[in-house]
Structure 1
Amino acid sequence: MLTTSRGIAVVLALAISVLVVAFLSLVDEASTLVILVAAGVAFSTSYLLISITLEFLVFREIGNIYQLLEKIQKKDLSEIQEKKTKSSISPLRRINAVINSYALARQKEIEALQKNAEFRREFIADISHELKTPIFATQGYIHTLLDGAIDDKHVRMKFLKRAAKSLDSLDNLVQDLLTLNQMESGVIKFVFTDFDLKEVIEEVIEELEHKASKRNVKINFKFDPEKTYITHADRQKIYRVCQNLIFNAVKYNHEAGEVKILLKTQKNHIQVDIKDDGQGIPPEDLKRIFERFYRVEKSRNKKEGGTGLGLAIVKHILEGHKSKISVSSTVGKGSIFSFSLPLVKANAPEDTHKTSEGSLK
């Protein structure tokens, strides 16, 4: 009986009414009727007040706390929702809010651990597949030569070239993995200088012209010749960003397609847009294309080559410059990759020999 709010309220109300009767019995003018009425009023009033107080300020909150603790014990945190903390006279409600916050923090921690575990599984599977291809290819060529094909000069040279090509692919993969890991850990330093972004893009275009001509892809670079495009960034790493994005635009374009590169200034920033006429990227893949080894089926498959780490490296380089890479794509029409860098005003004092260093955190 004493384990419920009503039972406790009855006992306390009886005690209060007894005290009232005992007090009034000491008064000579108090009649028996008055004493009985006072006892009834004291009992009913005390019962209601104590019952409501215990129910809403104590037992209900204790029940909520027990439910939360049971969910935490069973690791069933999926239905726990964040509650707004309100001022309350009940300390138990505040305790309930603290436990609820703790449960939410545990839920987020568990979800993060599950995502990390899934990422590790996918990463191990992906890197195993990426490493297996060049290793198995090289093994096949070398074992074929050891089995007697080495005596044929023509076959020997052909297989050695193919083995060397597979090993070069393996080396590129390892180098990209090391670069990405160093960026994420903050080991690689960023050396910021003032340079002309237009010249960097022109150098990349000149480097990729031969690859573009093989696929009959035209590269169209548009900019305002009367404007300057001086930015403050790490020139070498921005060169790699432009190289990767333009190379992808050429590689994933259709035959006789066109790559459009637009360079424009916007107040304090320079924006670079790189557009291709390829097959585009499905909406469900857009959020994942910057993940390691993620490839879009059909339009961006393994046959096209590459390590699958280029866009991940691009993302980390731009994050090191406090910038972001954005992409918009329409299936069947192509994609547009965009990023921006700070614009150094022409009237600002410049010191071409002055550099600053930063690290990616």
Structure 2
Amino acid sequence: MRLLILGTGWMAQEHARRFSAIEGVDIVGAVDVDPARVGEYADSFKIANRFTSLEAALEWGAFDAVANVTPDRIHHPTTMALIAAGKPVLCEKPLAENFGKATEMADAAEAAGIVNMVNLTYRNVAALQKARQMVQAGEIGTVRHVEASYLQSWLVSKFWGDWRTDPKWLWRLSRGHGSNGVLGDVGIHILDFASYGAALDIDHVFCRLRAFDKAPDNRIGEYGLDANDSFAMTLDFSNGAFGVVHASRWASGHLNELRLRIYGDKGGIEVVHNLDGSALKACVGENVENAKWEELDAGTVATNYQRFVDAVRTGVQAEPSFRHAAELQKVLDLAVVSDEKRAELRASADTQ
């Protein structure tokens, strides 16, 4: 499979490393509007063809599929052009800036009959996949309560660098620079982690967002620090189960950690994923009586990158698809409105 990588930022480096390790994949081209940046990137990964516009790459056309690793606001126009050209696309998250654009992308990809996927990277966590299988097999009975969190500490710790002086972090704190805060940055990940692990769709959402004071007048240079730092939301799932989901960048002691707890009427499951790895625990069967938790071996799973390659080769659509990502984007959009109106809003498919 001949792959084009669109965008050459930090995440594009991960795409190049991952795809290069898959047998039969040849990264044949790279695209970035900055000539120096695309040149450096292409040289680093020994990519023969480099372009400063998607139009030029499409005119060349000698590629089978595309990894779209452009900034969030660029996903929609570039992906729509790729769909029009009949090229399968693995797009970075979020699929688009809002539900309307995400839906347009999903509709177009489905109408064109091309493979489309969104790189929700925590689908690569074997413990999450195993948890979902256990839920679907009825090992914890009917799901009643779901608890999920995504905790980071880069507003407290300098482990990732000093956000006060680094534009790559400052823009994430500024609505004027296109950020929707922690909700927009990791909200889609933890919502997918919770709903996919529990094998349930989200029906209603109520959300509160909060941006805390971080600098005099909440401004550093050109950056107004007004994007949300923390969110907390309650969810109703499609089967009537209740969910509590929260995320924060102020969580000291947690560099980057996702946690999911799923409780049913016959048992419970816990998934923890952080920089040290993943863990899966369950309290099922006779262990429910004495609250005994046992750690389970989740094995290994294919990555999104491998599954995208397989889907392109076979022509069989794989998940997570554009449609799935669009439905998650609907929940994120409604979360913002919910905070503004202090109201619970419906997120199921018939919502207008």
TM-score by length of 2: 0.22
Higher CA-based Rg: 1
More strand by share: 2
